[in-house]
Chain A
Amino acid sequence: MSEKMTYREAVRLGISEAMEKDERVFMMGEDVGRYGGCYAVSMGLQEQFGPQRIIDTPLSESAFTGAGVGAALNGMRPIVEIMTVNFSLLALDQIMNNAATLLHMSGGQFNVPLVIRMATGGGKQLAAQHSHSLEGWFAHIPGLKVLTPATVQDARDMIGLALADPDPVLIFENALLYNAKGELDTAAAPLPIGKALVHREGKDLTILAYGINLFKALEAAETLSKEGIEAEVIDLRSLRPLDDAAIMASLRKTHRVMVVDEGWKSGSISAEIMARINEQAFFELDAPMGRVCSMEVPIPYAKHLEDAVIPQPDKIVAMARRLMEAI
């Protein structure tokens, strides 16, 4: 069965379905209850499930994220919402030193089935302290899983996937996607964590993207198609684990590859992906790898500056042309 809805509604549906199914699931975060979530994701959920299960927290990122770890250790399935990824830095100790390490440090005794959702990304003129894309940083950390739903389908499915996972899973929702509409197949079996998805088939080059940049890449691919260049566009879906197999398979077909990543170039997930291609499929390359990342400045406020900093379809098109020109 197929239904049209917004990304926001899809996340909400994922949460409410999970809460109906399992009484151990609860959600907490700043303004998730009475206010309805700062991006209105949890609007109505407190009326539906009560303040015991949709819990408003004080501005205490460290304590409520750590409380999520503790509750997960003690048999619950918490969903912690952190308003935006920038604020997750206040909870980094709990995410990295506790959530990601407890299983290993305890010699396999204590797993942490915690889900943390947060908004990520620029494009709303919110300036440097509300616009960054740090999912690549989190993908650096062993013990965590990092999901980046781009589509309405994944926005809903990934909540269930993350809750079913015995380990801590971070879900990064690009704030610009909340209003985006798409089709949701309610009956389809969700595509597992760690699987990338080919969104558009093509033979000339591979564009790897995730989150909102999937749509920028698809837009670029349309433009390129008019020029006779057929780009294969892949939604990575998960930054940790990365679907190496899907990446290399596409490369074996197109022999040219680029990555679109809203993180800063230096030390980014795009750098990691390029390194893996170098290690695993160097001889498949007909051209140097390319990437479109954010420019290396804190995201600025002014619209023209912000637009210039983050990846845009025209930059993706330009990079694709460059890859095609290389011998």
Chain B
Amino acid sequence: MELDITLAREFYRQMLLIRRFEEKCVELYSNQKIRGFLHLYIGEEAIATGVMQALGADDSVLSTYREHGHALARGIPAKRIMAEMYGKVEGCSRGRGGSMHLFDAETRFYGGSAIVGGGLPLAIGMALADKMMKRDRVTVAFFGDGAVAEGAFHESMNLAALWQLPVLFVCENNRYAMGTALELTESETNLANKAAAYKIVSRQVDGMDVVAVAEAAEEAIAEVRAAKRPLFLECLTYRFRAHSMFDAELYREKTEVAEWKQKDPLAVLKMRAETAGLWAQLNADELEEEVSAIVDEAVAFAENGTLESLSDLEKFVYSEEAAQ
């Protein structure tokens, strides 16, 4: 992938937006403006950014509870995500979902699932439907390294390979499931090898380098689309923050976190841009301003949003249109 100024700027802008958006979330959380669980993606921005840019509008995305980055990169407007965290009607799930359950029909974003591994069978079904209807779509399923221990993961890998379904599995291996390190939960810590055991083409990529992820994702999605079979992409990454706002982070050394911060995806991209002689032209300050305006606008939008009327509380348990 040739890193030109347009691409470098777009990647930087996208990752910066995710970063600043979430930093604002922390602030709002401390001020009790938003509540519930809040899982931050900070440190992992290169993955959502790299993968989403490779997708077409018709492709489908399934995500986890750590999905602000995915949602933003997929194109759900920041203000609709923020309004959701505020529990407002204008939120992308009308205040029913919150941080962990972002949904958006327009961008084919199917959540936002808080059951670890629970979205994987859905991805199988999404892709099965595309295959049966002979549509040229790809389904992308994001999940963490922790999900790999769940039965749903293994059942889904088997079905995806057995039925040759167009799914890209994106495993965000940040080495921890809450406070438990991968070494403590997996007999095989090379997760790509696990998927390969199901006869799924599997690769690993540096998840801190947006260009590497973007290249790997473009290639992977093109392969899934052309060959109509699944592919497993393990992105090696790290989260810089605690698992959630309730996590005192007693399970890992500060030095380990500091070491990984050297590989901050924003810094990695900056270095790449500098090497290519694009950094000055990229105008990072201007991007900071642009992103900051989007975040401010999102907060204002959420603040001014409306609370769902209690008379509508029981809506959407069943579809409104009656069955004949």
Contacts and interface: CB of A to CB of B under 8 A. Distances in A.
Interface of A: 26, 52, 57-58, 60, 62-76, 78, 93-94, 97-98, 102-111, 142-143, 145, 161, 164-167, 192-193
Contacts of A60: 155, 158-159
B143 to A, nearest CB: 13
Nearest to A142: B317
Interface of B: 60, 91-97, 101, 103-105, 110-113, 115, 118, 120-130, 132-133, 151-152, 155-156, 158-159, 162, 315-321, 323-324
Contacts of A145: 318
B18 to A, nearest CB: 22
A52 B121 CA distance: 18
B152 A76 contact: no
Given A105-B112, A106-B97, A161-B323, A66 B121 contact: yes
B323 A165 contact: yes
18 contacts: A62-B151, A66-B121, A66-B122, A66-B156, A70-B122, A70-B124, A74-B126, A75-B129, A93-B115, A93-B152, A94-B121, A103-B318, A105-B96, A105-B97, A107-B95, A145-B318, A164-B323, A165-B323
Given A97-B115, A102-B111, A109-B103, 11 more contacts: A62-B121, A63-B159, A64-B159, A70-B122, A75-B129, A97-B118, A98-B122, A104-B316, A104-B317, A105-B112, A106-B97
Given A62-B151, A110-B103, A71 B323 contact: no
Contacts of B120: 63, 66
Contacts of B118: 66, 93-94, 97-98
A240 B2 CA distance: 58
A104 B96 contact: yes
A57 B319 CA distance: 29
A275 to B, nearest CB: 19
A78 B112 contact: no
Nearest to B125: A70
A109 B121 contact: no
Contacts of B60: 74
Given A67-B159, A110-B105, A105 B132 contact: no
Contacts of A111: 319
A97 B113 CA distance: 9
Contacts of A26: 132
Closest 6 pairs (CB-CB, A-B): A70-B125, A66-B121, A107-B94, A63-B155, A106-B103, A67-B125
Contacts of B125: 66-74, 76, 78
Nearest to A97: B115
Contacts of A161: 323
Nearest to A192: B323
A167 B319 CA distance: 6
Contacts of A78: 125
Contacts of B92: 107
Nearest to A162: B323
Nearest to A99: B122
Given A60-B155, A63-B155, A73-B126, A107 B324 contact: no
B180 to A, nearest CB: 21
Nearest to A190: B324
Contacts of A57: 159
B93 A73 contact: no
Contacts of A102: 103, 111
Nearest to A103: B316
B37 to A, nearest CB: 14
Contact of B316 (A72, A74, A76, A108): A108
A63 B156 contact: yes
A166 B20 CA distance: 40
B152 A66 contact: yes
B85 to A, nearest CB: 13
Contact of B93 (A68, A70, A107, A193): A107
B122 A67 contact: yes
B93 to A, nearest CB: 4
A164 B324 CA distance: 7
B155 A62 contact: yes
Contacts of A66: 118, 120-122, 124-125, 152, 156
A73 B104 CA distance: 13
Contacts of B316: 103-104, 106-108
Contacts of A104: 96, 316-317
A73 B137 CA distance: 14
B88 to A, nearest CB: 11
Nearest to A166: B319
A196 to B, nearest CB: 17
In this complex, the member of B92, B122, B124 whose beta carbon has the largest number of chain A beta carbons within 10 angstroms is B122
A294 to B, nearest CB: 29
A166 B316 CA distance: 12
A56 to B, nearest CB: 10
B282 to A, nearest CB: 36
A70 B318 contact: no
Nearest to A111: B319
A105 B158 contact: no
In this complex, the member of B121, B125, B155 whose beta carbon has the largest number of chain A beta carbons within 10 angstroms is B125
A193 B112 CA distance: 31
A145 B308 CA distance: 26
A78 B121 CA distance: 14
A76 B131 CA distance: 11
In this complex, the member of A58, A106, A145, A165 whose beta carbon has the largest number of chain B beta carbons within 10 angstroms is A106
Contacts of A108: 94, 315-316, 320
Contacts of B101: 105-106
